[in-house]
Amino acid sequence: MSTPGLLRTALASNSGPSALRCLSSTPTRRFRDSAPRRGNFTTDSYPEIKRDPRFSQITAEHVAYFRDLLGKDSALVDGVTADVSADDMEPYNGDWMRKYRGHCKLVLKPASTEEVSRILKYCNDNILAVVPQGGNTGLVGGSVPVFDEIVVSTSRMNQIQSFDEVSGVLVADAGVVLEVADQFLAEKGYLFPLDLGAKGSCHIGGNVATNAGGLRLLRYGSLHGNVLGLQAVLPNGTIVDDLCTLRKNNTGYDLKQLFVGGEGTIGMITAVSIQCPQRGKAVNVAFLGAESFEKIQQAFREAKSQLSEILSAFELMDSYSQDMVHRVRQNKRPLDSEHPFYCLIETTGSNSEHDAEKLEKFLEDVMSRDIIADGVLAQDETQIKSLWSQREGITECVGHFGGTYKYDVSIPLKDLYRLVDDTRERIEAAGLKGDTDEFPVVEVVGYGHMGDCNLHLNVAVRRYDKRVEEVLEPFVYEWIGKINGSISAEHGIGIAKKKYLGFSKNDTMIDLMKQIKKLYDPVSFYMASFNEATTTNT
Amino acid sequence: MSALRILVPVKRVIDYAVKPRVNKAQTGVETAGVKHSMNPFDELSIEESVRIREKKRAPGGVEDICAISAGPAKSVDILRTAMAMGADRAIHVETADGDEGALEPLTVAKMLRAVVDKEKSNLVILGKQSIDDDAAQTGQMLAGLLGWPQATQASRVEFKGDSIEVTKEVDGGVETVRAKLPMVITTDLRLNEPRYASLPNIMKAKKKPLVKMSLSDLGVANERKLKIIKVTEPAPRQGGGKVEDVDGMISKLKELGAL
């Protein structure tokens, strides 16, 4: 196992969190609500991960350099030469799931690409480990330190640089919060081509660095297509300035794609330019119940053929996930009757009458053919929001009891839900699931982006417990490897999935990735390769 | 108590979640291409009527729930929603689109009185106000025209023997009033939580009877006593600024002359 500190740019790190839909925008509240206030240190939970002693310890001299560079006290949180209250440092050290927690003592908040460049160069020269961090909403432990890595936060790089109202191209700093960007675009009649539950906290730089997927990938496609250009800083301080605003640009290797989804391992993204689609004025949402997963698949096929160009989301939820939402929120359920599966269908278009007619025809059709057992159609904006919250609220509600083991996987559609059943059976057979406090597992739930073959398998736990982890891993990854699925659909690799990369990428692919790592981040590459052989992580 | 014949007036308004914008001529708010839905208070009226029937709360039972809306052609959408939520039938009093079709509360109350007579309604449940004009007058005027008792801002409706007890929220507590049929009740936000329109019910609603008529069929003319001179948006709020640290705070305070 390796992963010792290596320039954590190198290591998992996402530059920003990003993350995925889950989590709603108010994590702090949730921390207060549920049981353990703070997670264990990652170094205690995973003692096999060792700090590489060749990385330097941060000294007062280093801090002085950074203070001088950034120019003001508010641009750094300094726990090296001064006492910093735990509350000030904690948000940078821990992830919101309370699964990972580092020992960081220094947070830097540069305000420009040039400052990032000088920071990274200095760290590279002095062998100081670094973790880029955005809104810290990641789900794989990629945006938080493990040891005493320096956190480089994008939070002060938060300006929207330009927007072209004709082409719809937005250029913005990496630290702009996704929801802020989307609201800015809404005023102009445009839409950010990415939407996820964490939109109120996550930074767009982190979204791009982790190639976040989200709720509307089905309609608007992945960031690999929508990101037109970006600006990034390599570990040695080189500024990669490729802030192109053109849709077509076939001039050699498309190097920016290495940073999209590269999780900060070869550089830190500081600005992006993104192609934004027109915002649809007419939005309709239906919430449907079905008697089996086969019926849901049928409904999906019908939705694609009958709603085609206006279909903007098709989300799957099992009854266990909806029971959790109901249990935590005590709210009214959308449907009077209960069903093993639910789906949420959203249409977005430019003409509400045209859309409503199409949607109604579709709904009548699937109802009359017994594909769908029951359903509701939102009659106003408020109902649209509350139906969406049945889907978006799952992550938060699942985490309510203490923690969540999360698996974000791509599986061919026909086998998609079988993984949840198999996992639940395994957990039950191990006697880990029950209603009282002695059982670590509360429930095993499945939901996700049906339209993208992307399942979220979540195991809600009262506390993180090695026994649970041993039952789940590598079982889940082997299961996925067998059917040629992906062990990480949209959350990334981070620290959580590093050792399982081999289930989704063959040796040649991993080797090629290592070559790229070696090329752009030689310092941490050589560090890493000293520790037993291992995957460099993506 | 005789069987209830409930009349539920509903209004099509700009969706509660949409931010209205004043039109260029400053004569009203922009309505073209803006999402409209049922006035939220009216959803509560429909929901309460349906619950009275479903929970068999009225000793004499519920004979009829009729939704009525006066407005442009598109008001039919919200009448279908009302029927999908459980109303038996609907009446659409069609008015012209835009400003000339707009009705003042007194006209609406007169129209409703005519409908009450025609439909032999003995209970009218309506929202305490519509969220577009915020006039909050129609229910009271209707009760005055009919000479019926009225219970406004209901947060609970209970049937006790031959009378109805209505609890309303007032400053510093609740007030409970009692009256006998026929009566007018206006609804407030805490009365209930409206249901979603289910697909089977949306389909059924398409087959429920919907009668169209005009104001003149009911012997009412659209008399306007008020003329709108100008509509303007509130002055934009001066946004707060953020300072990064104590030094920034002090220099800002000095700049503002506070130090």
A126 touches chain B (CB under 8 A): no
- Report the residue of chain A nearest B37, measured CA to CA: A380
Same-domain pairing of A338 and A404: no
3-state helix/strand/coil string of B122-150: CEEEEECCCCCCCCCCHHHHHHHHHCCCE
Record: contact B203-A367, CB cut-off 8 A? yes
Flag whether A451 is in a domain: yes
Flag whether B172 is in a domain: yes
Q: Are A18 and A212 in contact (CB under 8 A)?
A: yes
Q: Are A317 and A342 in contact (CB under 8 A)?
A: yes
Nearest to A211 by CA among A123, A109, A140: A140
On the question of pLDDT at A115 being above 70, the answer is yes
Record: contact B199-A336, CB cut-off 8 A? no
Flag whether A445 is in a domain: yes
On the question of pLDDT at B13 being above 90, the answer is yes
Pairing mode of beta strands A282-290, A341-349: antiparallel
B200 touches chain A (CB under 8 A): yes
CATH number at residue B73: 3.40.50.620
Flag whether B245 is in a domain: no
Contacts of B245 in chain A (CB under 8 A): 72-74
The pLDDT of B95-110, averaged and rounded, is: 90
> Dihedrals φ, ψ of B36, to 5°?
-115, 150
| Least confident segment among A52-56, A115-119, A170-174, B13-17 | A52-56
Quick one: what percent of chain A has pLDDT higher than 90? Answer: 66
CATH number at residue A227: 3.30.465.10
Record: contact B198-A376, CB cut-off 8 A? yes
Domain closes at, from A369, A392, A415: A392
On the question of pLDDT at B205 being above 90, the answer is yes
Q: What pLDDT does residue A528 have?
A: 59
Same-domain pairing of A375 and A446: no
On the question of pLDDT at B209 being above 70, the answer is yes
> Structurally, how many domains does chain A consist of?
3
A534 band by pLDDT with thresholds 50, 70 and 90: very low
Per-residue pLDDT tens digits for A499-514: 888 888 899 999 999 9
Among A75-79, A350-354, A519-523, B180-184, the range with the most confident prediction by mean pLDDT is B180-184
**Separation between Cα atoms, residue A143 and residue A235, nearest integer Å:** 16
Same-domain pairing of A363 and A310: yes
Same-domain pairing of A387 and A293: yes
ipTM of the complex: 0.81
Flag whether B256 is in a domain: no
Flag whether A127 is in a domain: no
> Structurally, how many domains does chain B consist of?
1
Query: Looking at the partner chain, which of A364, A376, A381 has a beta carbon nearest the beta carbon of B35?
Result: A381
Q: What pLDDT does residue A37 have?
A: 54
Flag whether A288 is in a domain: yes
Q: If you write DSSP's letter for every residue of A12-69 in order, what string do you get?
A: S--SS----S-S-S-HHHHHHHSS-SSPPPHHHH-TT----TTSPPP-HHHHHHHHHH
Flag whether A22 is in a domain: no
Say which residue the tokens 């040629």 belong to. A484
Q: How far away is chain A from the Cα of B37, in angstroms, using its nearest Cα?
A: 6
- Report the residue of chain B nearest A187, measured CA to CA: B19
Q: pLDDT averaged over chain B?
A: 93
Domain interval for residue B62: 4-227
Per-residue pLDDT tens digits for B18-66: 889 899 889 889 888 888 999 999 999 999 999 999 999 999 999 999 9
Same-domain pairing of A287 and A329: yes
The pLDDT of A80-101, averaged and rounded, is: 86
Flag whether A109 is in a domain: no
Contacts of B203 in chain A (CB under 8 A): 364, 367
Domain interval for residue A492: 395-503
CATH number at residue A421: 3.30.70.2740
Q: pLDDT averaged over chain A?
A: 87
Q: How far away is chain B from the Cα of A74, in angstroms, using its nearest Cα?
A: 6
On the question of pLDDT at A485 being above 60, the answer is yes
Record: contact B199-A374, CB cut-off 8 A? yes
Residue A174, helix vs strand vs coil: coil
Per-residue pLDDT tens digits for A320-335: 999 999 999 998 899 9
Record: contact A363-B199, CB cut-off 8 A? yes
Residue B239, helix vs strand vs coil: coil
Same-domain pairing of A388 and A297: yes
User: Is the overall model pTM greater than 0.90, yes or no?
Assistant: no
Q: How far away is chain B from the Cα of A73, in angstroms, using its nearest Cα?
A: 8
Domain closes at, from A392, A420, A447: A392
**Separation between Cα atoms, residue B49 and residue A70, nearest integer Å:** 65
B71: part of which helix (H) or strand (E)? strand B62-71
Flag whether A149 is in a domain: no
Record: contact B245-A336, CB cut-off 8 A? no
Q: What pLDDT does residue A391 have?
A: 94
Record: contact B248-A74, CB cut-off 8 A? yes
B176 touches chain A (CB under 8 A): no
The pLDDT of A140-166, averaged and rounded, is: 93
Nearest to A341 by CA among A403, A284, A298: A298
C-alpha dist (Å) from residue A306 to A221, A345, A351, B48, B58: 20, 12, 16, 36, 45
Per-residue pLDDT tens digits for A20-78: 333 333 333 333 333 445 678 888 888 888 888 888 999 999 999 999 999 888 888 88
Nearest to A129 by CA among A230, A51, A44: A51
Record: contact A383-B196, CB cut-off 8 A? yes
Domain closes at, from A275, A302, A321: A275
Cβ contacts below 8 Å, chain A against chain B, sum to 68
Same-domain pairing of A298 and A250: no
Q: If you write DSSP's letter for every residue of B72-122 in order, what string do you get?
A: STTHHHHHHHHHHHT-SEEEEEE--SSGGG---HHHHHHHHHHHHHHHT-S
**Separation between Cα atoms, residue A22 and residue A197, nearest integer Å:** 5
